Chains A and B, each alone.
Chain A
Amino acid sequence: MRPTAVPLLLATLLTATALSACGSESGSDPDTVKISFKQSTDNSIKVMDTYLADIKDQFEKANPGKRVELVPIKAPDSEYYTKLQQMLRSPKTAPDLVYEDTFLINSDITSGYLKPLDPYLAKWDDWSQFIDTAKEAAQAQDGKTYGVPDGTDTRGLWFDKAIFKKAGLPADWQPTNWADILDAARAIKAKVPGVIPMNIYTGKPAGEAATMQGFEMLLYGTASGANESPLYDPASKKWITGSQGFKDSLEFVETVFKEKLGPDVSDALDPNIATRVRGEFLPEGKLGINLDGSWLPQDWLEGSGHEWPEWSEKLGLAYMPTQDGQAPSKVSMSGGWTWAIPSKAGNPDLAFEFIRTMQTKANAQKWYIANSGISVRTDVAEDPEYVKAQPGIKFFTDLVASTHYRPAYPAYPKVSTAIQEAMEGVTTGDSSVEEAAKGYDEELKTATDNQVIEK
């Protein structure tokens, strides 16, 4: 046995080292809370970074011996979600606290990525300050709550007053139907050369922005009643195919790009289009009308990178009208983000402690002002300092009354991608409205396991 003993020992040793090298616990340190959030792809924008750094200081001072590690993910929206989901799959990579978009949260809950927060919330006084719709945003079909919302948003039309003046359009512009918007864009195209008449997000590269800021703002304006959802039928719990509203919305998108009223198609299909609209097109006066979210000014506040405090003088705001101006005449969509704790988090208790620090009234208010958010906390919403902080805040808060929420069921993210594909088809002109709508219907069946209904 002598001669074999040495190599045997050597082999075992080698294998053992190799195996243990890859198997070793990366080990979540019980005193460190790891926090993942989405960092802007625009390097000069540090709104979230600055805010979290401040909370980190407060937290570390209040909890001696504990450390906060920020793990930013710098990616466009759609890639952020993918990266996060991959991290959430393993206890080795799962952070302790993550920033989750409400449209995705149900899908991630179904996958078992997140932890119910009810035991923590029950012991937290401030939770009663949150308005009900916001609490529901992070509530799963099992009735448990999985996230603490840090604000909501609404959507509307932003327009450049200087461009409007040159095009002979009023400074208090308010379209009452879709045709008004297109007419204004045509007027700009005819009279103001060198600017983009209007922007509507479209296609897969823009991700959820295309679906929500773009398509759904149109689609929800095709419904005849205020409570009708043209995307999902709550009565039968099925997704709607073949609706005329869907085709009309696609036709609007097609018109914008066919008549060259939108950005150049290659720009519209650039994944960083949203960053460019906020950082370049609007501040440089190159864009007439922009269908976008309430949060835009966060990039223009002082100390946020693209300072442009005079935006409130230069830009006008108008609500998005319904298709033919039918009641309720206004359309808005609302979403928002939440802080959630992964089910594989190593330090959930500490993570919730961090949420509490972020959500003291003072800190929450600081955040709402910094990110131009619409408050879901009654105490902040009533604070005059918050109301005065943003010129646009009243306009967008008033839209909450006529806003819609996405049917954020587990299948929603896939439905959303199907919508983006249909939009991209009519944007590039690769498919007609009919073809794109048909493609969507097909895609919808796969995405929802055939839970569809024709309307």
Chain B
Amino acid sequence: MTSAPPAGPGVVKTAPGPAAPPHPPAGRRDVRRALTRALPLSPAVVLLLLFLAGPIAYCAYIAFTDLQLTGQAESSFIGFDNFRAAFKDDAFLNAVWLTLVFTVLSSLIGQNTLGLSLAVLMQRASKPVRTVTGGIVIAAWVLPEVVAGFLLYAFFRREGTLNAVLDWLHLPSQNWLFTLPILAVSFANVWRGTAFSMLVYSAALNEIPKEITEAAEVDGAGGWRRMWHITLPMIRRSIGTNLMLNTLQTLSVFGLIWVMTRGGPGNRSQTLPLFMYEQAFQKSMIGYGTAVALLLLVVGSLFSLVYMRLLRTEV
């Protein structure tokens, strides 16, 4: 079956198999030696081609057909029709928009900023505070996606925890999953994903030499200035990596949203992965769904390109 292409940090490039020898042929002996040395790699290469490149190529092929799960005797090659259809489809454009909102809200603003703040605060905190906070935040991250989704569904639903708390405080409560579904799922993703950013930033902050910070302090730089002129520039590389990983993971979030809202009500929280699933498996249009999956891959690579640029200029 077609599966969603791994929208994770790209496909790991396969090791170059029996590649051309590094030197121009200095005789048959060298060629043979290179081949012999590459041989142990060949099973891995074959497996990767078979199980990684194969499905991806098949997936790309299907995106150009009108394959359906049911109601069709034979599928045929239809060129770019699926892609043209997508850009004319309001539901698709809605899904792209919601995906961007979801990514910016939960990944760029939420996970990233919150993760950094937590990491900074935790550096100054006492050990017990650090242990407890770290433990709680990481627990949210370790939970399986579906469990996290269910917990937050229970938190946000009409009779849920959030409304109970609001009632108790005599604040107006509402049906969050219905009125503000995209906000609710974004929050859920922040809740779940912040730990990762926090870990990355904690590690990065520990790498900043004490002397530099101390020197700045002696020069009279306040907290904010030190943050802006010392800390941020020095962990820029980590920021880039973290943003990239976060974004790509957030782009492909499916389980969390599926458990909480199924993309609904209407299609108010239908991000691209959910739209893709609906087209492929609920409307049985495998070809179209796969085309959407490829477009999702394109969105992911656009984000990656931007981040790669950020990383490069800094070096």
Contact = CB atoms under 8 A, between A and B. Distances in A.
B266 A430 contact: yes
A18 B72 contact: no
Contact of B283 (A15, A205, A269, A417): A417
Nearest to B46: A15
A205 B265 CA distance: 10
B236 interface: no
A430 B268 contact: yes
A20 interface: no
30 contacts: A4-B32, A4-B39, A7-B40, A10-B40, A11-B40, A11-B42, A81-B70, A82-B69, A82-B282, A85-B284, A111-B72, A112-B73, A204-B264, A204-B278, A205-B262, A205-B264, A265-B178, A266-B158, A266-B177, A269-B264, A414-B71, A417-B283, A424-B264, A424-B265, A424-B266, A427-B265, A428-B265, A428-B266, A430-B265, A430-B266
Nearest to A8: B39
A1 B279 CA distance: 55
Interface in A55-99: 78, 81-82, 85-86, 89
Interface string A398-420: 00000000000011011001000
A75 to B, nearest CB: 12
Interchain residue pairs A-B with the least CB separation, the first 10 = A107-B71, A410-B71, A14-B43, A430-B266, A107-B70, A428-B266, A7-B39, A82-B281, A428-B265, A266-B178
A18 B265 contact: no
Given A82-B284, A413-B284, A269 B43 contact: no
A15 B43 contact: yes
A264 interface: yes
Most chain B CB neighbours (cut-off 10 Å) among A8, A10, A111, A424:
A111
Interface in A188-220: 203-205
Q: How large is the interface on A (under 10, 10 to 19, 20 to 34, 35 or more residues)?
A: 35 or more
Nearest to B285: A414
B1 interface: yes
A247 B283 CA distance: 23
Given A3-B36, A107-B70, A108-B70, A266 B175 contact: yes
Contacts of B43: 11, 14-15, 18
A113 interface: yes
B71 A425 contact: no
A414 B72 CA distance: 12
A402 B281 CA distance: 35
Given A11-B42, A427-B265, 12 more contacts: A4-B36, A10-B40, A11-B43, A14-B43, A85-B284, A110-B70, A269-B264, A271-B262, A410-B71, A413-B284, A414-B71, A428-B265
Interface in B24-47: 32, 35-36, 39-40, 42-43, 46-47
B304 interface: no
B189 interface: no
Contacts of B68: 111
B70 A85 contact: yes
Given A11-B39, A265-B178, A413 B70 contact: yes
Contact of A18 (B36, B39, B47, B178): B47
A417 B282 contact: yes
Interface string B72-96: 1100000000000100000000000
Most chain A CB neighbours (cut-off 10 Å) among B1, B43, B265:
B265
Contacts of A11: 39-40, 42-43
A182 interface: no
A104 interface: yes
Interface of B: 1, 32, 35-36, 39-40, 42-43, 46-47, 50, 68-73, 85, 157-158, 175, 177-178, 262, 264-266, 268, 278, 281-284
Interface in A1-59: 3-4, 7-8, 10-11, 14-15, 18-19
Contacts of A19: 50
Most chain A CB neighbours (cut-off 10 Å) among B1, B39, B69:
B69
Contact of B265 (A14, A265, A446): A265
Contacts of B71: 106-108, 110-111, 410-411, 413-414
A430 B143 CA distance: 34
Contacts of B40: 7, 10-11
Nearest to A410: B71
A229 B68 CA distance: 27
A111 B70 contact: yes
B265 A86 contact: no
Contacts of B281: 82
A370 B62 CA distance: 44
A229 to B, nearest CB: 20
A110 B73 contact: yes
Nearest to B179: A266
Contacts of A85: 69-70, 284
B284 to A, nearest CB: 7
A113 B36 contact: no
B117 to A, nearest CB: 33
A111 to B, nearest CB: 5
A266 B36 contact: no
A449 to B, nearest CB: 10
A215 to B, nearest CB: 17
Interface in A416-452: 417, 424-425, 427-428, 430, 446
Contacts of A410: 70-72
Interface in A84-143: 85-86, 89, 104, 106-108, 110-113
Contacts of A78: 282
A264 B177 CA distance: 13
Contacts of B46: 15, 18
Given A11-B43, A266-B265, A271-B262, A104 B70 contact: yes
A369 to B, nearest CB: 32
Nearest to B177: A266
A15 B175 CA distance: 55
